[in-house]
Amino acid sequence: MSQKYRIYINDNTLLISNQAPEGVEKNQQFENEIFDFGNFYESLKGKKPQHYFLFADEPKKTFKSIKKKLTLIKAAGGLVNNANGEYLFIYRNNKWDLPKGKVEKGEKMKKAAVREVEEECGIKVDRLKAKICKTFHVYEMGGKLVLKHTNWYKMTVKNSPLLIPQLEEGITEASWVPLAKFEDKIKNTYPLIIDVLRENNML
């Protein structure tokens, strides 16, 4: 039975699985016995973004061993659509993104997702719907490697409310985007966001 876990490192992805995907070259493949995540992370610096594959007989066990060595941060976000069938995108750090943020101590993931969407875009969520997926993103913070675990949820708003980007969070633009214009946004977004959209059968 195929099992897989995907870790995003900015524009790179690392797939941990017991089944090799198509199109991955030899120099992008690693064996579990000789793999060190810290060294792998450092090796990505200055390289062109790629997709990598780590073969593991027990992907879940391998993922957990990597996770133990990283600082875990929980986050939550939303894929929000309005009454016109448009979806909410934000522009932050020179990339198009979806609204999300850290879960506060003692806060439930679902509640955090709604709060972050409302704070980052100045809107009121009408309905919180099903969870789309969860993602894992690694980055450096304070000299440590952080693993951000994000739960993504479907949400709706009434009508098509005015968007007010949260400038203090580095969001310079928020926009309602129809499906026909998605291509313009995904040209300049992260692989993680593309996969969230795919999980919702939108690409």
Render pLDDT for 8-63 as a digit per residue (tens, 0 to 9).
998 999 999 999 888 778 779 998 988 999 999 999 999 999 999 999 999 999 99
Distance, in Å, from the CA atom of 136 to the CA atom of 8, rounded to the nearest integer, reads 6
Q: What is the mean pLDDT of residues 129-157?
A: 97
**Do residues 79 and 97 both lie within one domain?**
yes
**Do residues 160 and 91 both lie within one domain?**
yes
Query: In the predicted model, what is the mean pLDDT of the chain?
Result: 95
**Do residues 80 and 63 both lie within one domain?**
no
Q: Which domain holds residue 121?
A: 72-199
Q: Which pLDDT belongs to residue 100?
A: 98
Domain count of the chain? 2
Distance, in Å, from the CA atom of 34 to the CA atom of 32, rounded to the nearest integer, reads 6
Q: Are 160 and 143 in contact (CB under 8 A)?
A: no
112 CB-contact burial (10 Å; exposed 0-12 / middle 13-18 / buried 19+): buried
Residue type, 171: I
Give per-residue pLDDT as tens, 65-88. 999 999 999 999 999 999 999 999
DSSP state letter for 85: S
**pTM of full prediction above 0.85:** yes
